[in-house]
Amino acid sequence: MEIRLGNLRWQTTNLTTTKYLNGDDIQLITSQAEFKLFHKNKKPGYHFLDFDERNKHLGFLYNIFAIKDKRGLFNTSYRAPTQEEWQQLFRIAGYLFNEDEPHLWDTSRQYNKERHKHNIEALKRLKSAKGWKKGHTGKNTTGFSALATIEESSARWLWQSEEKQLTGGVCFGNSSRHKKIEVTFSEHHEWGEPSEFIRLVKVVENPDCQPLKTPNINWMPGYLGYNLLNELTNFDVVRGGTQWGMYKQNKMPAKCFYDNASDGIPLFNYYGCKEIIRNLPREYKVPSSKDYQTLVESFSNNELHKLLDIYQWYLHFIREPNSEKKDVQFIYDIVAIGMRWVKYVTHWENEALYNYDYFSGKGNNASFWTSDDCVFTIKFEENVLKHEKYKIPKDSSFFGLGLPIKLIKNDFVA
């Protein structure tokens, strides 16, 4: 059985194969002493938790030599998740790592206590309702069905780099030595690799989204500069917040990527949007706020989710594990990419000072520049999908926002 979270399909049980892909048997390790001997001789093998067959329902643990054996443990359509994919899974469940929107957190004990409580609730969405000791049970709203494999209070799996050279373990929960409930990553070393449970994934490619026709408006799939009219967006890619602020101050077009990544859906400043509007081919337009309003009003409140690429919106479309519903179908591709945010810092010598280092909203917010100097936002508040229009004042600090751009086409022929 598998579930879809983000752009991955995750299996809901740990690997239990006893054979390589070519049909050769994987040798069973039956004791700790035998495990050490296998490791010394670099022999591949698998074993049950605590070398007790009564634990086989948890899946099997594979030593590093079985994991790296060229005969293969699983077919090419599945693989072990990377460290980044594990992080994506936890973020979808609502977990916040230290690097996630750090401006929202301070160093006070009370604030970090609240953050810890938030993360505990996030991890419950991944935990099975059974198999954990009292006080550690989960709600399993994701259907991931994580079972405790360490002291009934933690679970651990393999991560593997894309080129399969680096491997390590990902663990969440706590133990007698670690009172804090959190997600931790470790890297394997030749002198002492543990054996690991393996949870497999495969990448899901969304079918191409078709143009969406609403009254008098034809919405193009894709994002400007990502998979649509890329040649119009050859602006400077800006990473640092200070440099981004200088582009705003000098009224120069610029683009960036969320969290200063090297690629993805580009986020443009206000002047980049204006430059794009001036150079668009005649059949295209940047939508106005009224166009966006027409788009959302074409659907009832219960149908608005059809506009979203819902697997890129964290938390809000997680299905119950026993649901008989098929994958939710969407007809448009609005992604919660987030934005480059402007934060007021201080006021000095009659000048407001702003900081452009911050990014926010990824996973639950989609905001766009419009052709009429507005920002149109689709977001979740208290699990309700809402939309709002913000008029940007002249000479506003908000000209320094970094937002994506959608397009509509005037001469679309169905």
What string of DSSP letters covers 265-308?
Answer: S-EE-HHHHHHHHHHS-TTEEPPPHHHHHHHHHTS-GGGGGGGB
Q: Output the CA torsion sign for 179, 181, 187, 188.
A: positive
**Coil, helix or strand at residue 53:** helix
Instruction: Encode pLDDT of 320-365 as tens digits.
Output: 444 444 455 667 888 888 899 888 777 666 666 788 888 888 888 8
Instruction: Encode pLDDT of 49-65 as tens digits.
Output: 999 999 999 999 999 99
The percentage of the chain sitting over the pLDDT mark of 70, rounded to a whole number, equals: 86
pLDDT greater than 90 at residue 210: no
Helix axes 241-249, 270-279, angle to 10 degrees: 60
**Bridge-based pairing state of the strands 365-369 and 374-381:** antiparallel
Give pLDDT, residue 157: 95
Long-range contacts of 82-86 (CB under 8 A, 24+ apart): 82/159, 82/160, 82/161, 82/162, 83/159, 83/161, 83/168, 83/170, 83/185, 85/8, 85/159, 85/201, 86/157, 86/159, 86/170, 86/185
Confidence class for position 319, pLDDT limits 50, 70, 90:
very low
User: How many Cα atoms within 13 Å fall on the side-chain side of residue 205?
Assistant: 3
Give pLDDT, residue 191: 52
Return the higher-pLDDT residue of 217 and 268. Answer: 268
- Range of lowest pLDDT (15-24, 82-91, 306-315): 306-315
- Residue 55 Rama label (left phi>0; alpha psi -120 to 50; beta): alpha
pLDDT greater than 70 at residue 176: no
Return the higher-pLDDT residue of 382 and 24. Answer: 24
The percentage of the chain sitting over the pLDDT mark of 90, rounded to a whole number, equals: 44
- Range of lowest pLDDT (67-71, 76-80, 218-222, 326-330): 326-330
Give pLDDT, residue 111: 59
Task: Note if the pTM is more than 0.75.
Answer: no
268 close to 276: Cβ distance less than 8 angstroms:
yes
Confidence class for position 153, pLDDT limits 50, 70, 90:
confident
Give pLDDT, residue 164: 74
Give pLDDT, residue 325: 42
Phi, psi of 285 (to 5 degrees): -145, 150
For residue 162, give every residue at least 6 positions away whose Cβ sits within 8 Å of its Cβ, in sequence order, or none.
82
Q: Hey, how many other C-beta atoms are within 10 angstroms of the C-beta on 106?
A: 10
Helix %, strand %, coil % of the chain (to 5):
25, 25, 50
**Coil, helix or strand at residue 114:** helix
The distance of Cα 285 from the centroid of its chain, to the nearest Å, equals 30
Long-range contacts of 275-279 (CB under 8 A, 24+ apart): 275/235, 276/224, 276/232, 276/233, 276/405, 277/371, 279/232
Give pLDDT, residue 347: 64
Q: Which residue, chain included where needed, has tokens 């935990």?
A: 127
229 close to 254: Cβ distance less than 8 angstroms:
no
pLDDT greater than 90 at residue 307: no
CA dihedral 37, 40, 43, 47 (to 10 degrees): 50
What mean pLDDT, rounded, does the chain reach?
Answer: 85
Confidence class for position 206, pLDDT limits 50, 70, 90:
low
Q: Hey, how many other C-beta atoms are within 10 angstroms of the C-beta on 265?
A: 18
Cβ-count burial 353-376 (b if 16+ within 10 Å, e if not)? ebbbbbbbbbbbbbbbbbbebbbb
Give pLDDT, residue 177: 53
E strands along 8-67, which residues? 8-11, 46-47, 61-62
pLDDT greater than 90 at residue 291: yes
CA angle 323, 326, 327 (to 5 degrees): 110
Instruction: Encode pLDDT of 358-395 as tens digits.
Output: 888 888 889 999 999 999 999 877 667 889 999 998 87
Instruction: Encode pLDDT of 98-132 as tens digits.
Output: 776 555 555 566 657 777 888 888 899 899 998 89
